[in-house]
Amino acid sequence: MTSDLIPVTFHKIMQAKSYTVFVLSALNKNFAIYTDSKVGQNIQMLLTDKEKPRPYTHDLFNNLLQGFEIKLLQTVIYDVKDTVYFARLFAEQTIDNKKHILELDARPSDCLTLALMNNIPIYCKKDVVENLVEIQDY
C-alpha cells in the first residue's frame, strides 16, 4: 500500500462563518477539504500558539492517546466520492513488547487536525489524487 501513497502538503486554513477549508496539495494539485467552523477555530489556535480557554475534543483524544502510550504514525486520505473525502489515522501501541498497529476510520478534518497537532505525515492514495477536484486559486 505504501507505494501508492502520495505525500500531502498542508498549505493553509481558511475560515468563513459557517465552515472551514483546509487547502492541501499533492502531486502539484491543490484541493480543498471542508469542515465545520469549530474545527477551524481549533486549528487556528494551534497554528498561532493561542491558548484555549478549555480543552477541545481533539485535545481530549490526544490526551487519551498519550495516556495509553499510543503513538500516531500517519494519516491517509484513502477515498473520495463526489466531494466527500474519507481518511484513516494510523497509530502504534506497544503491549508486552509487541507492537500493535491501529487503523482508525475518521473524518478527514479530524485526521488533519490530529496530524497537525502531532506533526505526523499526511498521505493520499494515488488514485484519489488522480481523481480529486482541483482548486485553482487559494
Enumerate domains of the chain plus CATH numbers. Answer: 2-131 (3.10.690.10)
| pLDDT tens by residue, 61-110 | 999 999 999 999 999 999 999 889 999 999 999 999 999 999 999 999 99
End-to-end CA distance of the chain: give it in Å, rounded: 31
Q: Note the pLDDT of residue 137.
A: 67
Average pLDDT over residues 106-120: 94
Average pLDDT over residues 128-132: 90
The pTM assigned to this predicted structure is 0.88
What are the start-end ranges of the H helices in the chain? 37-47, 57-67, 108-118, 126-131
> Are 101 and 91 a contacting pair, CB within 8 Å?
yes
Centre a 10 Å sphere on the Cβ of residue 20 and count the other Cβ atoms it contains: 21
The mean predicted confidence, pLDDT, of the chain is 90
CA distance 88 to 113: 12
pLDDT at 39 over 60: yes
